[in-house]
Amino acid sequence: MRRIIKWTLVSFAVGYLLLLVHLLMVRKLRTAVIMGLQTAPIPLQPVVKRPVDYHQDYPELFPLQVAVLMINDSDGGLGYVHAFREMGIPFFVTHDLDAALRHSLVFIYPEVDSQTFNSEEIQKITQFVQAGGTIFAQQVFATALGPLFGFRSYEQVKSRHWVNFDTSTDPLGKYLDRPEERRIPLAGEAVKESFATNGYTSDGTAKVLARFEDGSAALLEKPAGQGTLFLSGVGYDDVIMRAQCNRHYDAFRAYVNTFEPGGDVWLLLLRAWYENFARGAVRLATIPQGQRSVLMLSHDIDWSYSVPKCLTFAAMEQRHHVHSTFFMQTKYVSDANGRGFFIGPNLDVLRKLVALGFDVESHTVIHSRAFNHFSYGTGDETYTNYRPRAVSMTDAVNGNVLGEVRVSKELLDGAIPGHHTIFFRAGHLRFPTPLSDVLASCSYEFDSSFTAPDVMSNFPYRLTYDRDFEHESPIYEFPVTFEDEEAPPLVERIGKALEVIKANADNGAANVILIHTNDDEKKVPAEEALLNSLPPDILVSDMTDFAQFWRARDRLNWQVLPGGSPDKITMKIKSAEPVSGLTFEFARNISAVDGGAKILADHHRVILPDLQPGKDTIIAIRY
Ligand SMILES: [Zn+2]
Convert the pLDDT of each residue in 326-366 to its tens digit: 999 999 999 999 999 999 999 999 999 999 999 999 999 99
Which of these, 372, 174, 206, 183, lies nearest to 261 by C-alpha position?
Answer: 183
The mean pLDDT of 377-403, rounded to a whole number, is 97
Asked whether residue 526 carries a pLDDT value surpassing 80, the answer given is yes
CB 238 within 8 A of CB 79: yes
Query: How remote is the CA of residue 530 from the centroid of ligand 1, in Å?
Result: 21
Asked whether residue 1 carries a pLDDT value surpassing 80, the answer given is no
Query: What pLDDT, in 10s, does the model give residues 192-204?
Result: 999 999 999 999 9
Residue 16 pLDDT: 61
Residue 80 pLDDT: 96
Query: How remote is the CA of residue 112 from the centroid of ligand 1, in Å?
Result: 47
Which of these, 587, 610, 607, 609, lies nearest to 599 by C-alpha position?
Answer: 607
Q: Rg of the chain over CA atoms, in angstroms?
A: 27
Query: How remote is the CA of residue 320 from the centroid of ligand 1, in Å?
Result: 25
Query: How remote is the CA of residue 552 from the centroid of ligand 1, in Å?
Result: 28
Query: pTM of the prediction?
Result: 0.94
Query: How remote is the CA of residue 425 from the centroid of ligand 1, in Å?
Result: 8
Instruction: Give the amino acid at 105.
Output: L
CB 140 within 8 A of CB 71: no
40 burial level (CB within 10 Å; 0-12, 13-18, 19+): middle
Cis upstream peptide for 345 (omega within 30°):
no
What's the CA angle centered on 390, arms 389 and 393, to 5 degrees? 175
Residue 139 pLDDT: 93
Query: What pLDDT, in 10s, does the model give residues 107-153?
Result: 999 999 999 999 999 999 999 999 999 999 999 999 999 999 999 99
Query: What pLDDT, in 10s, does the model give residues 253-297?
Result: 999 999 999 999 999 999 999 999 999 999 999 999 999 999 999
Is residue 8 very low, low, confident or very high in pLDDT (cuts 50, 70, 90)?
low
Residues 6+ positions from 13 with CB-CB distance below 8 Å:
none
Task: Report the alpha-carbon distance of residue 298 to residue 479 in Å, rounded.
Answer: 11
Task: Report the alpha-carbon distance of residue 118 to residue 145 in Å, rounded.
Answer: 11
Query: What pLDDT, in 10s, does the model give residues 596-616?
Result: 999 999 999 999 999 999 999
Query: How remote is the CA of residue 145 from the centroid of ligand 1, in Å?
Result: 54
Query: How remote is the CA of residue 317 from the centroid of ligand 1, in Å?
Result: 21
Query: How remote is the CA of residue 370 from the centroid of ligand 1, in Å?
Result: 13
Instruction: Decide which of 514 and 167 is more confident.
Output: 514
Task: Report the alpha-carbon distance of residue 346 to residue 329 in Å, rounded.
Answer: 11
Query: What pLDDT, in 10s, does the model give residues 222-259?
Result: 999 999 999 999 999 999 999 999 999 999 999 999 99
The mean pLDDT of 530-538, rounded to a whole number, is 97
Asked whether residue 165 carries a pLDDT value surpassing 90, the answer given is yes
List, in sequence order, the alpha helices (H) in 377-466. 401-402, 408-415, 435-441, 452-455
Residue 12 pLDDT: 60
Query: How remote is the CA of residue 428 from the centroid of ligand 1, in Å?
Result: 6
Question: What is the average pLDDT value for the chain, to the nearest integer?
Answer: 94
Query: How remote is the CA of residue 19 from the centroid of ligand 1, in Å?
Result: 31
Query: What pLDDT, in 10s, does the model give residues 460-511?
Result: 999 999 999 999 999 999 999 999 999 999 999 999 999 999 999 999 999 9
Query: How remote is the CA of residue 302 from the centroid of ligand 1, in Å?
Result: 5
Residue 73 pLDDT: 79
Return the number of other C-beta atoms located less than 10 Å from residue 320's C-beta.
14
Is residue 75 very low, low, confident or very high in pLDDT (cuts 50, 70, 90)?
confident
